[in-house]
């Protein structure tokens, strides 16, 4: 396998982007990534998107976006793995370049969620769960996560307030990110008084949806087209694993088995261990998911992730900084684009471009994207060359 490197990145602000169409949103991020790498032609475009079928009445985003950004005739397709669609598209790009078949792969994550009524978006999000065995029983995604969080609190004796640091850290970091949906810090008191959505998950545990796109251009590491002067970042691990689509089917409700598997594979590919990771973009769609990811990936002992957070170790100056540009909680969660945002942010950290929340001497970064309630886990490790 060839080594794969990052040539350029791009992203849009996450917000209600009603004045831009789906293709304009994707185009903005994609053209930014191409411009950054001084590239005007790519072999392939891999689009990560979850819900354009219902939210925008548009599928077939491959040619839809490729032509819009001037890549007519290039290979182009869409990858869907629910909320992990972004990382799945990135992995497709990595494998295509690594195989030698594709010389340049543009990965675009895009989601435009705020044009549609809320009940339609709730229904679209529910397609990531089991239609027969979960959704037909009336459960929503927040409710699924609430069940898991309640069980976790019960098993390990944590209280609601112990989850505050996840949200507080995310919002503090997001306040330095001009692309973040929410750029205001919050206090523990703000967290505790937020309205309840599905007990014990309140508004400050849940990531906001939004419209946004992020893009990354991948080239072979040995390519002479890599722009000189830019700090080179290599993809040193790419691993994916799944679990049952229905949460109730899993052996242990409070353990992300697929996260354990995909992170172990990733560490093994890179010849690294959790202690080598300088920055970790975790999938904090809900506070509980950030906690479970930290444990499954070996950054905290089982049942002890809130302790890590309470001790400040998830902050940019801590032992394992997460959500360094706001995470899903504050940067926002345009579902199919999120995985690409996470990777863009890891790259910013490795290049030393994470103004305001730069992790000192960040050389190795990891991003983990979760699809469904823990049914699809995709882990990447990137490293400065």
- End-to-end CA gap in the chain: 17
Of positions 63, 86, 306, 365, contacts a copy of itself by CB under 8 A: 63
Q: Which is nearer to a copy of itself, 163 or 255 (CB)?
A: 255
Is 125 or 153 the residue whose CB approaches a copy of itself more closely? Answer: 125
Single residue of 1, 35, 122, 159 touching a copy of itself by CB under 8 A: 1
Distance CA 377, CA 272 (A): 19
Smaller CB separation from a copy of itself, 25 or 172: 25
315 is catalytic: no
- Pick from 30, 164, 241, 370 the residue near a copy of itself by CB under 8 A: 241
Are 103 and 223 within 8 A, CB to CB?
yes
Locate 381 and state its tokens.
Answer: 């490790």
**Listing from the earlier edge strand, what are the strands of the sheet with 279-281?**
44-48, 105-111, 212-220, 4-11, 233-242, 376-384, 364-371, 279-281
Rounded-to-integer distance, Cα 215 and Cα 13, Å: 12
Task: Choose the stretch contacting a copy of itself; rule: CB under 8 A; options: 46-54, 110-118, 146-154, 358-366.
Answer: 46-54
Instruction: In whole angstroms, give the CA distance from residue 237 to residue 229.
Output: 24
Burial of 330 (0-12, 13-18, 19+ CB in 10 A): buried
Q: Does 72 bind a copy of itself (CB under 8 A)?
A: yes
The reply to whether 249 sits near a copy of itself by the rule CB under 8 A is yes
CB-based burial, 47-65: b 16+ in 10 Å, e otherwise: bbbbbbbbbbeeeebbbbb
Structure tokens at 170: 């995310």
Q: Residue for token digits 């940019």?
A: 316
Residue closer to a copy of itself, measured from CB, 167 or 379: 379
My answer on whether omega of the bond before 142 falls inside 30° of 0, hence cis, is no
The count of chain residues that interact with a copy of itself, using the rule CB under 8 A, is: 65
Report the C-alpha gap between 256 and 144 in whole angstroms.
14
Residues from 344 through 373 that contact a copy of itself (CB under 8 A): 371-372
144 binds a copy of itself (CB under 8 A): no
Residue 106 contacts a copy of itself per CB under 8 A: no
Told to check if 258 binds a copy of itself by CB under 8 A, we report yes
Interacting residues with a copy of itself between 4 and 23 (CB under 8 A): 21
Among 160, 257, 351, 363, binds a copy of itself (CB under 8 A): 257
Q: For a copy of itself, give the closer residue by CB, 309 or 335.
A: 335
Our answer to whether residue 60 is catalytic in this structure is no
For the CB of residue 86, give the shortest distance to a copy of itself in the complex, in Å.
Answer: 12
Among 171, 283, 333, 380, the active-site one is: 333
CA 208 → CA 113, 133, 181, 334, distances in Å?
11, 26, 8, 8
CB of 167 to a copy of itself, least distance (A): 26
Catalytic residue numbers?
A: 83, 333
Contact residues for a copy of itself, defined by CB under 8 A: 1, 21, 44, 50-54, 56-64, 66-67, 72-82, 88, 92, 95-96, 98-102, 123-124, 126-132, 135, 238-245, 249, 257-258, 261, 371-372, 375-376
């Amino acid at each position: 396998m060839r080594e794969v490197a990052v040539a350029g990145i791009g992203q849009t602000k996450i917000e209600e982007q009603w004045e831009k169409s789906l293709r304009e949103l994707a185009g903005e991020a994609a053209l930014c990534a191409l411009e950054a790498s001084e590239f005007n032609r790519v072999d392939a475009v891999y689009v990560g998107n979850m819900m354009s079928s219902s939210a925008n009445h548009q599928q077939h985003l491959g040619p839809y976006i490729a032509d819009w950004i001037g890549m007519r005739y290039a290979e182009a397709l869409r990858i869907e793995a629910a909320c992990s669609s972004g990382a799945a598209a990135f992995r497709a790009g990595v494998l295509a370049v690594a195989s030698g078949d594709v010389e340049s792969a543009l990965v675009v994550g895009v989601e435009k969620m705020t044009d549609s009524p809320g009940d339609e978006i709730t229904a679209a999000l529910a397609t990531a769960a089991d239609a027969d065995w979960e959704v037909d029983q009336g459960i929503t995604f927040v409710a699924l996560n609430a069940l898991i969080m309640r069980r976790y609190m019960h098993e390990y004796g944590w209280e609601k307030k112990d989850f505050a640091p996840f949200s507080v850290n995310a919002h503090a970091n997001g306040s330095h990110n001009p692309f973040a949906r929410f750029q205001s810090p919050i206090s523990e008191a703000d967290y505790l008084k937020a309205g309840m959505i599905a007990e014990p998950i309140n508004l400050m545990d849940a990531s906001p949806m939004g419209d946004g796109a992020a893009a990354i251009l991948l080239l072979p590491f040995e390519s002479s087209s890599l722009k000189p002067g830019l700090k080179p970042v290599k993809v040193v691990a790419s691993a994916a694993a799944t679990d049952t689509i229905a949460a109730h089917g899993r052996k242990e409700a409070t353990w992300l088995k697929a996260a354990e598997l995909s992170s172990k594979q990733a560490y093994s590919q890179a010849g690294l261990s959790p202690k080598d990771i300088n920055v970790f973009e975790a999938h904090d769609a809900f506070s509980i998911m950030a906690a479970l990811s930290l444990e499954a990936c070996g950054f905290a002992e089982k049942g002890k992730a809130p302790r890590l957070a309470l001790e400040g170790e998830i902050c940019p100056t801590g032992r394992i900084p997460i959500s360094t540009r706001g995470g899903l909680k504050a940067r926002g969660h345009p579902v199919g684009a999120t995985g690409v945002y996470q990777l863009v942010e890891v790259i910013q950290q490795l290049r030393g471009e994470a103004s305001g929340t730069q992790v000192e001497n960040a050389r190795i970064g990891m991003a983990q994207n979760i699809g469904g309630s823990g049914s699809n886990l995709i882990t990447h490790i990137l490293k400065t060359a």
